[in-house]
Amino acid sequence: MTFDAKPCFSDTYAQSRQKFLSAATPHGDIHSFLHPEKGPDGGDLYLDMAVIGDAEANAGLVLISGTHGPEGFCGAGCQIALLESGLIDEFSDLRVVLIHAHNPYGFAWLRRTDHENIDLNRNYYDFSKTFTPHPGYDILRPHIVPRELDMDRISAGMAEYEAEHGKVGLLAAMVTGQSHDADGLFYRGSAPTWSQKIVTENLPGLLEAQDEVSVIDFHTGLGPFGVPYIVHGYAPGTEAFKAFRRAYGDDVKSTEDPADIDENMPATPEGPIVLAFDKILPGKSSYAVVIEYGTYPPDRVFPVLMKDNWLHAYGDLDSVVGREIKAEIKEIFYPASDKWKDMIWDESVKAMRCSAKLVRDKVLGDV
């Protein structure tokens, strides 16, 4: 659709929330949950859920922004544009829930993780189970979580590991997640964090009547500039796998399909929200997908995560270096390019329509 979505994107969490509330209020109800911490400006932080549409609608559509802090600028911009453009009317037969700032702390502080350094997309884990981390993480740890920021040493350590295990092996060791290094990268925590509790405790009550629910979790930082990388966690042969293929065509990939495993998806992280909807919405059929919108190459993305982790563990946020790192992490996960924003909006419209089609077809039995 022809709509200039650029004004729907924001420069700060506070601005994004203001735009979101202004756009969503005329369409439905807002449920706001106050975070225990403050933003960098001293302001309050909230996880907001806008609920739009008939409570008795046959199917639901959930759109999530900000699971990984600064990636929230992208997802929130798409949520706001959905409302401001009038496209929301196209989904009037669905119960739509927009989760703005799944991780409000990370959104506001330009931090991938939350206030406890927990990677929220590793935290939807069954903590009654013992988690065994990838053995490569501890080998890499001295290089990727250093006390002194030395990018040459970081690069050398990663190159040494990659030479022995390959790029897929390197990325798998880093991104799978871990629960024993609270100051490290991709830390899942040892119990459900604040955001997980809010979603798990409140989302089911907003989708009581919907038996079929489609979910999009918006992310950035993986893949070519502005290009969507769409991935779910359903195995080949399952009904959900087939439903995604019918709705999205060949554009969608699966973490459970060996044919799709590559350097973009080297391993399945344990604990992402998109793999938790059977528990979040028990008794319902849910179809959850992650959309990663590309920004910059991995050799720029991963180093800035290490820099930011170092900054919060050992550095000074108010220093010149601290401000430089924050500016870099914002650009890496939320490019300033207007062209990128236009590309993101156009692709998000396609994705929202595909996810809506998926649950509509399931309700109608048109499969």
Q: pLDDT tens across 350-365, in order? A: 999 999 999 999 887 7
| Secondary structure element (H or E) that encloses residue 351, with its range | helix 338-364
Q: With 90 as the cut, is the pLDDT of residue 121 above it?
A: yes
Please give the pLDDT value at position 366: 59
Q: Considering only 221-235, 265-279, 325-339, 342-356, which range has the smallest mean pLDDT? A: 265-279
Cα–Cα distance measured from residue 110 to residue 182, given in angstroms and rounded to the nearest whole number:
19
Q: 125: pLDDT confidence band, cut at 50, 70 and 90?
A: very high
Q: With 70 as the cut, is the pLDDT of residue 1 above it?
A: no
Residue 11 located in a structural domain: yes
Residue 77 located in a structural domain: yes
Amino acid at the residue 243: A
Residue 206 located in a structural domain: yes
Q: Is the Cβ–Cβ distance between 162 and 169 less than 8 Å? A: yes
64 closest CA partner among 72, 52, 54, 53: 72
Backbone angles phi, psi at 194, to 5 degrees: -55, -50
> Across the chain, what does the average pLDDT equal?
94
Residue 210 located in a structural domain: yes
Count of the separate structural domains present in the chain: 1
Cα–Cα distance measured from residue 263 to residue 284, given in angstroms and rounded to the nearest whole number:
33
Residue 318 three-state SS: coil
Residue 144 located in a structural domain: no
Which residues 6+ apart lie within 8 Å of 195 measured at CB? 47, 102, 103, 104, 114, 120, 123
Percent of the chain beyond pLDDT 70?
Answer: 97
Query: Around 41, how many Cα atoms within 13 Å sit in the side-chain half-sphere?
Result: 10
Task: Provide the Cα torsion 296, 300, 306, 310; round to 10°.
Answer: -100
Residue 179 located in a structural domain: no
DSSP 111-133: -SS-TTS--GGG-SS-TTSPP--
HEC string for 171-227? HHHHHCCECCCCCCCCECCCCCCHHHHHHHHHHHHHCCCCCEEEEEEEEECCCCCCC
The range of the structural domain enclosing residue 236 comes to 6-128+189-296+331-364
Residue 177 located in a structural domain: no
Cα–Cα distance measured from residue 94 to residue 61, given in angstroms and rounded to the nearest whole number:
7
Residue 92: give its domain's CATH number. 3.40.630.10
Residue 287 located in a structural domain: yes
